[in-house]
């Protein structure tokens, strides 16, 4: 009986973990879009960076249920670390600097995780917010190191692997960021489908029950928080390396708040949520900014209110109407998208 249950669980876990054809299609489409719009590399790079950053928040919010309003802290540490490494010529290879910056953010994540696992949601909001504000104030105070409000001067990113120069059109930057996103996405996918990832879901659903069945709740939360900090640090380092800029804005509260919006739009608790949310959020911004440079914030706000009121499920249904028709023609009835009532899987 027990072996039956176990093999059942393992079977379902494997089923979830398997690559679906639409995932292949997704990544091929992303690459195709990258090749199709060579004049839009910079904004696409921004979307990729935001997607990676959102992926990081999704790991702790969507999978482990840790709310955070200060995720920009790790983004900022990664950004400044990459900037300082380059400005002082400490590490010339961008890829190596990227990893070092990620690790720096990871160390901070590990240290602060002990504060974050204490207390419930509201406490966590306050603690994470506080840490980000603290770092922003520190960066401003030590403006001799960080460049303060003017930003860090003298960032000169050397060619990637000694071969690919970061060009004005952002071509190298885009494919570099995309490759990093893809690798880290694979890693995240592996993590959330592993027994470790499943135990996180159990903790999110009910920490007490999770503890009762023998899951070391705090250790798991510390681990995922640290991993998420690494991801955010990498996103920050990508920001610095692809724009050659680092200023106090990297710690800004808006950054953390925008990230929440991205997950609200895309949906937390599935890895593509952050990726899709980043795309939709940024495109909305771009379209409204083009139409009305002065009042675009009003329209963004309005759309967000509408999204929350109408509910993501219904919007998804509307958005999927045409693809559904196509799917119906191609694959018959069973491929049609039905709406799920809760956020799966």
Indicate the DSSP class of residue 334: G
Least distance (Å) between residue 177 CB and other proteins: 13
Instruction: Choose the binding region for other proteins from 65-73, 100-108, 180-188, 239-247 (rule: CB under 8 A).
Output: 239-247
Site string for other proteins, 161-190 (x = CB under 8 A): -------xxx--------------------
Long-range CB contacts for residues 20-29, cutoff 8 Å, separation at least 24: 26/272, 27/182
Nearer to other proteins, 94 or 173 (CB): 173
Alpha carbon of residue 120 to chain centroid: 23
Nearer to other proteins, 121 or 140 (CB): 140
Q: What tokens does 257 get?
A: 């708040």
For the stretch 110-130, what's the b/e string if a residue is b when 16 or more beta carbons lie within 10 angstroms of its beta carbon?
bebbeebbeeeeeebeebbbe
Least distance (Å) between residue 187 CB and other proteins: 19
Indicate the DSSP class of residue 59: I
How many other C-beta atoms can be found within 10 angstroms of the C-beta atom of residue 216?
13
Q: Tell me the site size for other proteins, rule CB under 8 A.
A: 63
Which residues from 323-342 bind other proteins, rule CB under 8 A? 323-324, 327, 335, 337-340
Nearer to other proteins, 92 or 249 (CB): 249
Dihedral sign, Cα of residue 145, residue 100, residue 57, residue 206: negative
The number of residues making up the chain comes to: 345
Residues lying near other proteins in the complex (CB under 8 A) = 15-16, 20-23, 25-26, 29-30, 32-33, 36-37, 39-40, 42-44, 46, 140, 143, 148-151, 168-170, 239, 243, 245, 247-249, 270, 272, 276, 279-280, 283, 286-287, 289-290, 293-294, 296-297, 316, 319-320, 322-324, 327, 335, 337-340, 344-345
């Amino acid at each position: 009986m027990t072996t039956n249950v176990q093999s059942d669980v393992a079977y379902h876990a494997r089923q979830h973990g398997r690559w679906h054809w639409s995932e292949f299609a997704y990544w091929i489409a992303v690459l195709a879009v990258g090749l199709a719009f060579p004049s839009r590399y910079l904004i696409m790079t921004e979307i990729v960076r935001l997607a990676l950053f959102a992926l990081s928040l999704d790991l702790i919010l969507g999978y482990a249920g840790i709310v955070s309003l200060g995720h920009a802290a790790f983004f900022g540490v990664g950004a400044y670390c990459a900037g300082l490494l380059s400005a002082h010529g400490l590490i010339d290879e961008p890829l190596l600097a990227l990893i070092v910056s990620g690790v720096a953010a990871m160390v901070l994540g590990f240290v602060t995780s002990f504060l974050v696992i204490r207390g419930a949601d509201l406490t966590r909001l306050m603690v994470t917010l506080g840490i980000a504000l603290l770092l922003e104030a520190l960066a401003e105070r030590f403006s001799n190191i960080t460049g303060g409000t003017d930003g860090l001067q003298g960032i000169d990113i050397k060619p990637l692997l000694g071969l690919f120069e970061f060009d004005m059109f952002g071509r190298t930057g885009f494919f570099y960021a995309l490759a990093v996103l893809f690798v880290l996405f694979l890693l995240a996918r592996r993590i959330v489908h592993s027994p470790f990832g499943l135990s996180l879901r159990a903790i999110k659903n009910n920490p007490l029950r999770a503890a009762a069945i023998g899951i070391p709740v705090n250790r798991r939360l510390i681990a995922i928080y640290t991993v998420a900090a690494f991801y955010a640090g990498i996103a920050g380092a990508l920001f610095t390396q692809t724009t050659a800029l680092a200023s106090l804005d990297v710690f800004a509260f808006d950054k953390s708040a925008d990230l929440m919006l991205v997950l609200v739009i895309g949906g937390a608790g599935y890895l593509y949520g952050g990726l899709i949310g980043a795309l939709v959020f940024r495109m909305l911004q771009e379209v409204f900014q083009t139409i009305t440079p002065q009042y675009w914030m009003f329209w963004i706000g309005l759309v967000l209110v509408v999204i929350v009121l109408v509910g993501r499920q219904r919007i998804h249904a509307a958005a999927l109407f045409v693809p559904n028709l196509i799917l119906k023609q191609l694959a018959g009835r069973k491929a049609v998208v039905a709406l799920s009532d809760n956020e799966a899987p």
